[in-house]
Structure formats: C-alpha cells, structure tokens
Amino acid sequence: MEGGGKLNRVESIELARPALAQGRVALVEKWLNEDKVTASETLGDMVMPLSPAIALAVYLKAGDAHEKVVQAFLATGDYAKIVPYCSRAGYRPNFVFILQNLVHANPAAASEFAKQLVKAEGGPLVEIPACIDVFMQFNRLAEASAFLVDVLAGDKPDEGFLQVRDQASTMIWQP
C-alpha cells in the first residue's frame, strides 16, 4: 500500500481480516478514508460486529449493499435516515418488517419512523392501517395513538374509520 494504489476487493478483505481480528477497526477506517481499500458488502460484514458506524460507511461506499445500509442505520439508531436513503437509492425494503423490529426494540422511535413511512414524498410507503396493526401486535397502544394523532391531523372524512378504531382500541385496552 506504500505505492499509493488501491487494493482490489479480495486484497482489501484479506488485509482487513488480521487487523479486525486484533480489534483494530480504526485502522480499517483509516484505510477506507484514504481510499486504500475497496469497500464491499463482505468488508462491511466483517466490520459490523466491531463498529456498526464504520460498517455503515463501508456499505455506503460499496454502493450496492442497500439492505445492509438499512440494517446499519437500525444498528446505529439513525432511523430517520432510512426513508431518505431508500428514496435516493431506489431501494424498497419490507418497511412493515422493519417497523415490526423497531416496535419491538424501540417503540418511541418506531412511532416516528411510522410517521415518515406514511408521510413520505411521493405517497405513503406503508398505509396507516398496516402501521396500526404492527403497533397493536405488540400491544403498543400509546405509540399507536400518538402516531394516529399526528397522521390524522387533517381530519379527513375518509380517515374517520381510523379515528373510531383508535377510540375503540383505547376503550378496550384502557377501560
């Protein structure tokens, strides 16, 4: 690497393997920033257990690891970056599945993420009833209600059934 050349994908992985085995993830980050190694999904996978943030940088630089980018955003807590990234990349993951995992791990963040999904530019990525179903699967009535209060602020007649559903759920779960 002294000659200033960039290692190919296989060479980059082989060089990173011993460094990561010693826990020297900062060294791999340095090489990545200096453009001495080639970013790849495999390299990101090797870095992920040690540093999700650096793995995210690897996946982003690789350019074709969209699913892994979304997983890394989840691991780093950068939930608000998922929808914009997917829009830019033209990637359409299973947002309901992501929301389910997020409701389980971080219900408050899931409520904000669900709002992003239904208020996305170009139209909703997930319909409001599907989001409510996810919250109710985990008995997260407070988050479901907070989500509905925000997304139903327009008081549109065609969304009346959702208001009724929210009130009915509240009466059943919190009599």
Q: What is the pLDDT of residues 84-113, one digit of tens each?
A: 999 999 999 999 999 999 999 999 899 999
Was domain 1-78 assigned CATH 1.25.40.30?
A: yes
In the chain, domain spans: 1-78, 94-175
Q: Is 22 helix (H, G, I), strand (E, B) or coil?
A: coil
pLDDT tens track for 9-39 = 999 999 999 999 999 999 999 999 999 999 9
Look up residue 108 and give its amino acid.
A
pLDDT tens track for 118-147 = 998 888 999 988 999 999 899 888 888 888
**What was the pLDDT predicted at 141?**
84
In degrees to the nearest 10, what's the CA dihedral of 87, 91, 94, 95? -10
Residue 165 to residue 94: CA distance in whole angstroms:
25
Confidence of residue 152 (pLDDT cuts 50, 70, 90): confident
Residue pair 173/144 in contact by the 8 Å Cβ criterion: no
